[in-house]
Amino acid sequence: MGSMLELIRGLLRDSPNPEIGTSIWRAHTGRVSDSFTAEEQACEILVNSWLDGRIDIGSVLGLKLVQELVRDLPRHGVPASYRARFFPSATPPTSPLQFGPPPRGGSQGRYNSTGQSALYLSVDLFGLKAEMERDKDDTRRLYYAHYRPIDTLSVVDLSDSSIHAALHLAFDRAERLDTSYEISQKLADVVRSFGIDGMIVPGVRGNLNHHYCNVVLFNCRDWEYWLDTSHPPQELDLYVGAGSPLA
């Protein structure tokens, strides 16, 4: 049996309407699909079936499709990035080493279940602000530290506009606030299953003038070597004028 894409393309080869012709704007990732094809629609139906946890052949095929698409993605190093944390106003951080990953076995995150390691970063300061703003309060201040580029790790870039629309759908959906962690963790487990060290994912809390990406690292045992200790932690002002990136 060939790949799932070959199977779908074979079934749709004689489709009377290969170009559905809709334009889709996905949240605040900045992605626009201007020629939504019958193939893309069929793939998204299968992927949604799997993400929704349905017990049917569509779900089985959706998982297989995601596995094949992730397996064939090119591998990249990790770009320079930032990690932010809230600290009590009276006790600001004194070292970048206070910006490592959460303890293993801690609480779950969007792309890690309880007991799994994950280090969450953003590639620019606008992304940090967008991600952290909803958790602000009057008793804590937000600080960030720098992470250097990492060429010893292998990650996949799921923010790349050239990847298949089915992966766009899956990870745009995973980043939505109303999406349960069960869905995003299923996607992360597929990436983990190929021995990939992490992934670059689209941020969905941007605006029309600025889009950003996040980095999620599953292999974070050497995080102390990746920190740029030449820069002390810096405070990040959560107030930004409309449409003004922080970077």
Same domain, 58 and 85: no
pLDDT for res 13: 62
Residues 10, 104 within the same domain: no
Q: What is the DSSP string of 57-123?
A: HHHHHHHHHHHHHHHTSPPEEEPPEEEEEEEETTS----GGGGSPPPTT---BTTB-TT---EEEES
Residue that terminates a domain, selected from 47, 74, 101? 74
Do 99 and 137 fall into the same domain? yes
Determine the structural domain holding residue 15 and report its residue range.
Answer: 4-74
DSSP letters along 176-229, please? STTS-HHHHHHHHHHHHHTT--EEEEE-SS-BTTB--EEEEES--TTHHHHB-T
Based on the domain organization, do 65 and 124 belong to the same domain?
no
Whether 242 is in a domain gets the answer no
Domain boundary pick from 74, 99, 118: 74
Question: Are 85 and 51 found together in one domain?
Answer: no
Q: Assess whether 68 and 80 both reside in one domain.
A: no
The answer as to whether 241 is a domain residue is no
Give phi and psi for 199, each to the nearest 5: -155, 150
Q: 204 and 82 in one domain?
A: yes
Residues 199 and 129 in one domain: yes
pLDDT for the residue 31:
54
Number of domains in the chain: 2
Considering the domain boundaries, does residue 30 fall inside one?
A: yes
Among the listed residues 147, 163, 165, the one whose alpha carbon sits nearest the alpha carbon of residue 41:
165
Same domain as 132, residue 36: no
66 & 95 share domain: no
Report which residue type is found at 128: L
Q: Are residues 136 and 228 in the same domain?
A: yes
| 8 A C-beta contact, residue 48 and residue 56 | no
The sign of the torsion formed by the CA atoms of 18, 20, 21, 24 equals negative
Q: Give pLDDT tens digits along the chain (247 positions).
A: 468 777 766 666 655 554 444 444 454 455 555 446 778 888 888 898 999 998 899 899 999 999 999 999 999 999 999 999 999 999 999 999 999 998 776 788 889 998 888 999 999 898 888 888 766 777 889 999 999 999 999 999 998 888 888 888 888 888 777 788 999 999 999 999 999 999 999 887 776 677 788 999 999 999 999 999 999 999 988 654 433 333 3
The residue out of 74, 97, 115 marking a domain boundary is 74
Q: Is residue 165 part of a domain?
A: no
